[in-house]
Every structure is written in C-alpha cells, then in structure tokens.
Structure 1
Amino acid sequence: MTEWIETSALVLAKCASNDPWFPNPSEAIVIAWAEIFATSNLTREDLLAGVTRAYRTEDTGYRPLPASIVKHGRASYFESLANLPDERRESMEDAAHALMEIGIQPPDAHKYVRRIILGRTPPFQLTVTQELEFREILAERQAIKSLPPKPLDVSRAFRRVTPTKAADAQS
C-alpha cells in the first residue's frame, strides 16, 4: 500500500501544481485516493498522465476526484496507443508474438510491449535467458521481413479435374 500512498501524494501534488487553489490534502485524503488507485490496474505513470489529460481537457473550475483521474489515466493510455504510427504498432505486435513464443502468456505479453512502446515501466522484468531468446526471435523476424517476397506460382496450386479424370477417380 505504501507505493499507492506515494503515487496518491504525487498525483495530488500534480493536481496542486495545475491548480493554485487546490487544497493541501490531509493524510486521510492521500490514503483514500491511494485506495481507489490501488484497484484501478493503472500504474503511477498512467495516473500522472491522467492528471495532465484531465487539466488539459476539462473546463475551467475542474475539481478532480480519484475516479476522474483514473478515467483520464485510462483514456490517456488508450489515446497514446491509438496515436502510434503503423510501423510502431506492427513492431509492437511482433514483440508480443516473440514474447509468447518464449512462454509469456498473451495478456502479459501485450501489456509488456504496450508499456515499453509507450516509454513506460514494464509490469515485469524478463530474465537474462528470456531476454536473449526474445532478441533472437525478434532478429529472426526482422531477417524474414527483410527478404524480398517470393513470386507465387499459382499454376500448380490447383489441379483442374476434367470429366474423364473425375470418372477415373470414382472407379
């Protein structure tokens, strides 16, 4: 809970830096906000980005509550992902698939690469062995992508059945 109390204090301090009339929160308020943040599944970075987004998008006189900071934190996270260029999104998918190949579960793999691609702290650290395997798989994928496409010979892809061949096949 200590980490969430620190996060709550930072979020409240950032609110105060955006709003000179923001009240100085008591310890009880810091703890109450921390309890909400702890159940949000967002990181400190996401919540601080939520403060920035809240003060950027809300009308004058906005008074933040922990739920609105969580809402803005989630929105900021998904906006950042939506604004990624296609190349970055493609590399993110390649990295997620590489992580799955080394045994990371799909939800964890996607969460890991999203956080990395957004410049945020990953939810877990890879072991040295996992890191080496991951880099090897990514290098293989890049090598395959750099190869020129092979022309497709569709002339042998389908065998045309003529009426006489069909009769022979039935007998």
Structure 2
Amino acid sequence: MNRLILTALLLCASSFAHAADIKIATWNLNWLTQRPPGDPALPSDVHPRTDADFERLRAYAAQLNADVIAIQEVDGRAVAARVFPPEQYSIHLTRDRVVQRDGVVVRRGLHYDVNPDFVALAGSAGLHLRSGSDITLHLPGAELRVMAVHLKTGCHDQPLMRS
C-alpha cells in the first residue's frame, strides 16, 4: 500500500515539475508606425515616433519581461521589431491591410502555431476594420490558445450613455 501511495505522489510531483509559469500581457501601442507625417493612411493628429520614443518603448518592453504580449495598433513587423528585439521575440501580426493591426509577440523558445485570423470581429461587409490575431502555444503538458483583439473603434464618436 505504501508503495502505491509513493508512486501516486511521485506521478503528481512529476506533473508539477513540468509546469512552468508564463507571463502574459496586453499592450495597445497607440498608432505604432514609421510612416511619414502626412501619410494619407494616418489621421492628421498622429505624429511619427522619435528615436527617443522607441527607446522608451523598448525599455518598457524589457521591464515588462513578458513571455507573450498581445499587441494592438501596430503598423507591421518592422516597427514592432523596434520595440520587441527579434533575437528575443517572434512577432506575429494579422494579415489585415490596415495601419492598426493586432498581433502576438512570443518569447523565443516558446513553441506555437498560427491559427487563421479571427475575421468575425472585422465589422460589417464592406467595412473591414481589423481581425483578431490567433495563436496556440504549446506548453509542457498543455496548449493555450491566445487571441489578440482590438474590440472598440471610434470610442469618442459615440460615447456610452449613462443609465
């Protein structure tokens, strides 16, 4: 009987030994783009980031030290790489043809599969806003599906009514 209990405890302990903590964050990068001022794809009140801005964003990303970051409002992989060093992170963005894209940044060494973009969020026919980014992380003993979405647009256009 004692041998059976010991075996059961060892099996339970071995599953805990394989468990790993993972730090997940979300970050709206607020019109992260390298497009020049006056680009027709940008609203007139969006100004380009300076090198100092990118240094601060990169320092914050390092301080955040997350394993997985759901990101919003990013204009491509190249500009995301200025915040998340490619030698440390893999960057996946939606395939949308819009300036503000969603994505997931994953620490190198973590394994994941890219799922199709979640297009049900993209709005009505003819008015394509943005899709959700969808990946499946393969963790020791489990899989975790992660979606990065940006649900609201035009918040200031139609404020919520007080009830």
The structure with higher relative contact order (CA 8 Å, sep 6+) is: 2
- Between structure 1 and structure 2, the one with the greater Rg is 1
Larger strand proportion of the pair: 2
Q: What range describes the TM-score normalised by the shorter chain of this pair?
A: under 0.3
TM-score, scaled relative to structure 2:
0.22
Larger helix proportion of the pair: 1
TM-score, scaled relative to structure 1:
0.22
